[in-house]
Homo-oligomer: A and B are copies of this chain.
Amino acid sequence: MFSRIRRLLIGDTLRTDQLTAEKFNVFWGLPILSSDAISSVAYAGEEILIVLIPILGLLSYKYMFYAALCIVFLLFLLVFSYRQTIDNYPCGGGSYIVAHDNLGTIPGLVAGASLSIDYILTVAVSVSAGTAAIYSAVPALYAHKVVISVAIIILMTLGNLRGIKDSSRLFGVPTYLFIVSVAVMIITGIIRHFVFGYNPQPLYPIQQKAIGDITLFLFLRAFASGCTALTGVEAVSNGIPNFREPSQKNAKIVLGLLAGVVLFIFGGLSYLATIYHAVPNPENTVIAQIATQVFGTSFMYYAVQVTTAFILIMAANTAYADLPLLLSLLGRDGFVPRQFAKRGKRLSFSNGIILLCIASCLLIIVFSGDTHNLMPLYAVGVFISFTLSQTGMFTKWIREKTPGWKHKAVINGMGALVTFITVIIIGITKFKHGAWIVCVLIPIFVFVMLRIKRHYIKIAEQLKLPLNIRPKNLEPSDDKQHVIILVNSLNKAFLKCLNYSKYISKNIVAFYVSVDSEEAKKLQKKWEEYDVGIPLIVRQSPYREIIDPLIDFINSEEHASKPGETVTVVIPQLVITKWWHNILHNQTSLFIKNMLYKRRNIIVISVPYIIEE
């Protein structure tokens, strides 16, 4: 039943050798690996305005321009830095790997933890923003935004569990459509303004005068808010193995193109927001306002909204590719449960995918599906991982001193310095708005990962089998083996247990837990009649449970097993073929087994007795 539902939802199980990654050329690599980076432009400008407008009013647009300039500068610095990472990590250079290789375990784990948090936030933020694009176009849906977001995430989860890689070129299309429709909007908007002198009324009122002065702190907060535009840049250097040969060269080209696209769209949108005075509003995104002003409610307006929604959802999808991969690396190294390193039925890292789904849905529900509430948590993690990755590259050059190392060390060193400063800025300006949550979570995650690793090491040590410990040279039929058969009535299932026990030992007793003395008497009578040949031990159980009386018996003198000795408990197990028949039987035996494992040296033998239909 369950397996049929699973097959319907995610498809047939795939063979391991069916695992083949599609390789991209530059044309497809750009949209697929950069949808996260390009899409974040859809909300970065709005985030800057949210900080500035309430205080500076009309003046905001001027400072928005400066903040955007700083962000673009940061972008180009990152591109140059990451080109060097691509050169050196042909198998993919995520922050965890780079930091772990060059700086050690703890920095690697810090990068891993901050990236994990950010991937979860990416899904929550991108899907919320995609939903915002939908309800900006269809206001009636505003009330259902949480439901819509959760439904999108669940669909995406199912798609990723199926392993949607096969058709991933499909995911490239929305990115190009978004680029094209936004480009058309930017150009049309600028032409209408300058050539035709079009000067629309702002959709929402804006105070003309500034209430307060521009302060350094305010500007830095605006800058920090806009830095969300830079999330997703890492995806390209993560994805090098997915490029066609020459993969590193192709990756670098894509990185350059990505920077160009972000520059054009971010710059263009900021400029349009300035000339058309878009004002952040919870029910209508800035992009939607600009689109209304430029296109009215024509086809192109809806095209912009739809492609925005799509690219944002695609951006969430990159997190679905990256987080499970990161967790599989961490799981392989023993820092998270090893299950994360196992491929599921469809060869995807299904446990990571499911974790991502649950975590992001929870975030959306807790934050009521409002993008702005999640923003302060966002970006801190990305920039921490940028910093660690760049610092890792920097120390690599210093240590290895390969040809041209000085030049390269300067670039990565600058990258590290600037991203570090950005971390500080983001951390301070957004601290009380939510960034503190991330600052608390990262050390906790690192601590837990170290504990998990320690646990795995401890277990491996305990299980290690040195050559000098040899198997016992036992002859079968050692009578010192204690065998106890759990009996609940004298039937064929019990007989099967008894026959099997005789293989193991001659020292066999049957054990019966009595909750009703009438029943116990009946069994004892039958026992004598049948002349079973082994003793029947009957124990009263005032609390109607089985484990404690059994353990008491094993530890008692009557049983005469010594503390260290192995005791075998044989349990008859009725096997029923129809699933609904299981409802009709007490599954006590399953439960007993799990409880007995907790006691040392009790070996449990389950003897199935199959009921014919």
Instruction: Report the copy number of this chain in the oligomer.
Output: 2
Report A535 CB to chain B, min CB distance, Å: 14
Check: A503 CB closer than 8 A to any chain B CB.
yes
Least CB distance from A246 to B in Å reads 28
Of the stretches A143-151, A191-199, A596-604, the one at the interface is A596-604
* Complex contact A471–B503 (CB within 8 A): no
Report Cα–Cα, A574/B342, bound state, in Å. Answer: 19
Contact of A605 among B505, B506, B603 (CB under 8 A): B603
How long is the Cα–Cα vector from A70 to B584 in the complex, in angstroms?
45
User: Chain B residues with Cβ under 8 A from A612's Cβ?
Assistant: 462
- Bound state CA distance, A504 and B503, in angstroms? 6
Kindly provide the distance from the CB of A450 to the nearest chain B CB, expressed in whole angstroms: 13
Instruction: Write out, one digit per residue, whether chain A residues 544-574 have a CB within 8 A of any chain B CB (1) or not (0).
Output: 1100000000000000000000100000011
B477–A477 contact, CB under 8 A? yes
Interface pick from A34-42, A116-124, A485-493? A485-493
Segment from A249-257, A266-274, A308-316, A525-533 that makes contact with B:
A525-533
A465 within 8 A of B: yes
- Contact (Cβ within 8 A) B477 A476: yes
Closest to A347 in B: B544
Given known pairs A464-B492, A465-B492, A608-B602, the reply for A597 and B584 (CB within 8 Å) is no
A181–B491 CA distance with the chains assembled, in angstroms: 61
Which residues in window 450-483 of A have CB below 8 A to B?
452, 455-456, 458-459, 462-465, 467, 469, 471-472, 474-478, 481
Q: Which residue of B lies closest to A13 (CB)?
A: B543
Contact of A445 with B by CB under 8 A: no
Q: Is A610 an interface residue (CB 8 A)?
A: yes
CB-CB contacts below 8 Å: A574-600 with B = 574-575, 577, 581, 583-586, 590, 593-594, 596-598, 600
List the B residue with the shortest CB-CB distance to A478: B503
* CA distance in complex: A345, B465 (Å): 44
A607 to B598, alpha carbons, bound, how many Å? 12
- The CA of A585 and the CA of B342, in the complex, are separated in Å by 12
User: Among A15, A463, A493, A574, which residue has the most Cβ atoms of chain B within 10 A?
Assistant: A463
Of A54-62, A376-384, A404-412, A494-502, which stretch is located at the interface? A494-502
* Residue A212 CB within 8 A of the other chain: no
Inter-subunit contact B515/A16 (CB<8 Å): yes
Q: Is A542 an interface residue (CB 8 A)?
A: yes
Q: Is the CB of B498 within 8 A of A481?
A: no
Verify B456–A603 contact, CB threshold 8 A.
no
Bound CA–CA A465/B526 (angstroms): 10
**Would you give the 0/1 interface string for A502-527, flagging 1 where the beta carbon is closer than 8 Å to chain B?**
11111000000001000000000000
Chain B residues near A465: list those with CB within 8 A. Answer: 490-492, 494-495, 530
Q: If A603-B607, A608-B597 touch, does A503 touch B505 (CB 8 Å cutoff)?
A: yes
Which residues of chain B have C-beta atoms less than 8 A from A63's C-beta? Answer: none
- Check A339 for interface membership: any CB of B closer than 8 A: yes
Shortest beta-carbon distance from A480 to chain B in Å: 10
Return A416 CB to nearest CB of chain B, in Å. 34
Which residues of chain B have C-beta atoms less than 8 A from A529's C-beta? 467
- Residues of B near A492 (CB, < 8 A) are 462-465, 469
Is A337 an interface residue when CB atoms closer than 8 A count as contact? yes
Interface string of A208-230 (1 = CB under 8 A from B): 00000000000000000000000
Q: In the complex, what residues of B have CB within 8 A of residue A500's CB?
A: 566, 603
Report Cα–Cα, A342/B493, bound state, in Å: 22
Q: Which of B343, B494, B593 interacts with A606 by CB under 8 Å?
A: B593
User: Which residues of B sit under 8 angstroms from A566, Cβ to Cβ?
Assistant: 500
Contact A581 B467 (CB under 8 A): no
Known: A471-B499, A503-B477. A455 touches B493 (CB 8 A): no
Asked whether A166 is an interface residue with its Cβ less than 8 Å from the other chain, the reply is: no
List 5 additional A-B contacts (Cβ < 8 Å) besides A463-B492, A465-B490, A481-B503.
Answer: A338-B586, A465-B494, A471-B495, A577-B598, A603-B605
A-B contact pairs, 10 of them (CB 8 A): A338-B585, A465-B494, A465-B530, A467-B529, A469-B495, A471-B533, A475-B502, A476-B502, A600-B610, A603-B608
